[in-house]
């Protein structure tokens, strides 16, 4: 990936200054990956003035040295919270360390405080690394374009495979297989293939249900490429759609268009959501739009900024978000159209590219 971890660590240190803390405890694995490149499943990072300390266990000795050569690596036999606590306790002088309570559970927190002793003072630093991750650099954008391209290609392929008689699970398996064949390390989330009334469940799991003639089918998929996720959704109709279905589909398309037009630097995320929602309300479909308009994407499939109601956060250049209005009508089905969009200083770039109009197969 060639990520510039030094730049990120320097930036994190600058962000710590106004908090008046001398260091940062990082327990959330995606944040650890972002700051130093380590992808193991058990790790804590302590960002201190002298070095980035990476604590992990013996399973990851080789991997830690390969992935995070710019860190001081501590291979531990005991629980990492105890190891980090003792390490801090042994350092000279008192210190204030930032931590994010969202990413540590109560039991680990109690042990950490116990092990680090009274000279370490803890201060909440909420979402510090997450806010940095919202602004993608050129290398991240390049990886995300590729991840989105894999998703788009697979989407185009499986839409051609879809036909009555196949089960949702069979199609989901095709999606996952084809993503890996194209170089993805796996799906960004459990692939959704939801047909007929099941398409009314926004987060349906693929089932043994067979696709049938005259029903909607929602495909929601994404690939992980070099640790970055992609995300897109298409909805098709098996057979000739009724005028009502076509009208619903056009309404969702129109809502997504409006959201795209509103998505720009300095717009609030809440406004992008409101614009999308108003279109569906105008079609008297507002009550069927049961989720937010979109979300940030990156190392995690759902990141900030959230594009949802009342989100005051402003869109920044470098943000990558989804726009995914949808309607879900119990007993009938659902329609969702989702694309992934990068925001630049002077315009937006749609990263996903599979056909967007209503496919009637
Ligand atoms: Mn999504």
Predicted confidence (pLDDT) at residue 261 exceeds the cutoff of 50: yes
Cβ 57 vs Cβ 64: under 8 Å: no
All residues with CB under 5 Å from ion ligand 1? 231, 322
Q: How far is the CA of 341 from the centre of ligand 1 (A)?
A: 11
Report residue 3's pLDDT band, with 50, 70 and 90 as the boundaries. confident
pLDDT of residue 75: 98
pLDDT of residue 291: 97
pLDDT of residue 2: 65
pLDDT of residue 354: 85
Q: How far is the CA of 295 from the centre of ligand 1 (A)?
A: 7
Q: How far is the CA of 324 from the centre of ligand 1 (A)?
A: 7
Cα(238)–Cα(120) distance, integer angstroms: 63
Q: How far is the CA of 46 from the centre of ligand 1 (A)?
A: 32
pLDDT of residue 225: 98
Q: How far is the CA of 232 from the centre of ligand 1 (A)?
A: 6
Report residue 9's pLDDT band, with 50, 70 and 90 as the boundaries. very high
Q: How far is the CA of 239 from the centre of ligand 1 (A)?
A: 26
Q: How far is the CA of 32 from the centre of ligand 1 (A)?
A: 23
Q: Using CA of residue 167, residue 214, residue 159, residue 230, what is the dihedral sign?
A: negative
Predicted confidence (pLDDT) at residue 66 exceeds the cutoff of 90: yes
Report residue 112's pLDDT band, with 50, 70 and 90 as the boundaries. very high
Supply the pTM of this predicted model: 0.95
Cα(337)–Cα(249) distance, integer angstroms: 9
What mean pLDDT, rounded, does the chain reach? 96
Cα(86)–Cα(113) distance, integer angstroms: 10
Q: How far is the CA of 220 from the centre of ligand 1 (A)?
A: 8
pLDDT of residue 93: 78
Predicted confidence (pLDDT) at residue 270 exceeds the cutoff of 90: yes
Predicted confidence (pLDDT) at residue 1 exceeds the cutoff of 60: no
Low-confidence winner among 156-165, 305-314, 352-361 (lowest mean pLDDT): 352-361
Instruction: Output the 3-class SS for the chain.
Output: CCCCHHHHHHHHHHHHHHHCCCEEEECCHHHHHHHHCCCCCCCEEEECCCCEEEEEEHHHHHHHHHHCCCCEEEEECCCHHHHHHHHHHHCCCCEEEEECHHHCCHHHHHHHHHHHCCCEEEEECCCHHHHHHCCCCHHHHHHHHHHHHHHHHHHHHHHHHCCCCCEHHHHHHHHHHHHHHCCCCEECCCCEEEEHHHHHCCCCCCCCCECCCCEEEEEEECEEECCEECCEEEEEEECCCCHHHHHHHHHHHHHHHHHHHHCCCCCEHHHHHHHHHHHHHHCCCHHHCCCCCEEECCCCCCEEEEECCCCCCECCCCCEEEECCEEEECCCEEEECEEEEEEECCEEEECCCCCCCCEEC
CA angle 222, 227, 228 (to 5 degrees): 45
Q: How far is the CA of 203 from the centre of ligand 1 (A)?
A: 10
pLDDT of residue 94: 75
Q: How far is the CA of 116 from the centre of ligand 1 (A)?
A: 40
Cβ neighbours of 162 (radius 10 Å): 18
pLDDT digits (tens, 9 = 90+) for 176-235: 999 999 999 999 999 999 999 999 999 899 999 999 999 999 999 999 999 999 999 999
Q: How far is the CA of 45 from the centre of ligand 1 (A)?
A: 29
R_g of the chain, CA atoms, integer Å:
23
Q: How far is the CA of 175 from the centre of ligand 1 (A)?
A: 16
Report residue 355's pLDDT band, with 50, 70 and 90 as the boundaries. confident
């Amino acid at each position: 990936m060639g990520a510039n971890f030094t730049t990120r660590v320097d930036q994190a240190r600058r962000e710590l200054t106004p908090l008046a803390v001398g260091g940062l405890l990082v327990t959330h694995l995606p944040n650890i990956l972002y700051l130093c490149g380590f992808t193991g499943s058990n790790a804590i990072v302590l960002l201190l003035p002298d070095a980035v300390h990476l604590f992990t266990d013996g399973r990851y000795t080789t991997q830690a040295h390969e992935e995070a050569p710019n860190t001081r690596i501590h291979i531990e036999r005991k629980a990492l919270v105890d190891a980090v606590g003792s390490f801090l306790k042994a350092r000279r002088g008192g210190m204030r360390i930032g931590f994010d309570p969202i990413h540590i559970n109560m039991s680990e927190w109690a042990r950490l405080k116990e092990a680090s002793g009274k000279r370490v003072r803890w201060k909440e630093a909420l979402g510090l690394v997450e806010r940095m991750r919202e602004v993608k650099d050129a290398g991240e954008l390049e990886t995300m374009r590729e991840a989105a391209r894999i998703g788009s290609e697979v989407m185009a392929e499986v839409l051609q495979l879809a036909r009555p008689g196949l089960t949702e699970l069979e199609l989901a398996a095709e999606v996952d297989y084809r993503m890996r064949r194209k170089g993805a390390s796996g799906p960004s989330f459990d692939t959704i293939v939801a047909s007929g009334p099941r398409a009314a469940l926004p987060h349906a799991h693929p089932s043994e249900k067979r696709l049938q003639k005259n029903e909607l089918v929602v495909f929601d998929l994404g690939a992980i490429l070099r640790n970055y996720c992609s995300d897109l959704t298409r909805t098709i109709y098996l057979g000739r759609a009724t005028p009502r279905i076509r009208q619903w589909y056009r309404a969702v398309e129109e809502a997504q268009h409006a959201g795209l037009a509103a998505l720009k630097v300095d717009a609030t995320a809440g406004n992008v959501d409101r614009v999308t929602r108003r279109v569906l309300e105008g079609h008297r479909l507002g009550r069927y739009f049961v989720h937010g308009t979109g979300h940030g994407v990156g190392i995690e499939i759902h990141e900030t900024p959230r594009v949802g109601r009342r989100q005051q956060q402003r869109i920044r250049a470098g943000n990558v978000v989804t726009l995914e209005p949808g309607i879900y009508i119990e007993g009938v089905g659902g329609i969702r159209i989702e694309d992934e969009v990068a925001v630049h200083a002077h315009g937006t770039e749609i990263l996903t590219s599979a056909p967007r109009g209503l496919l009637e197969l």
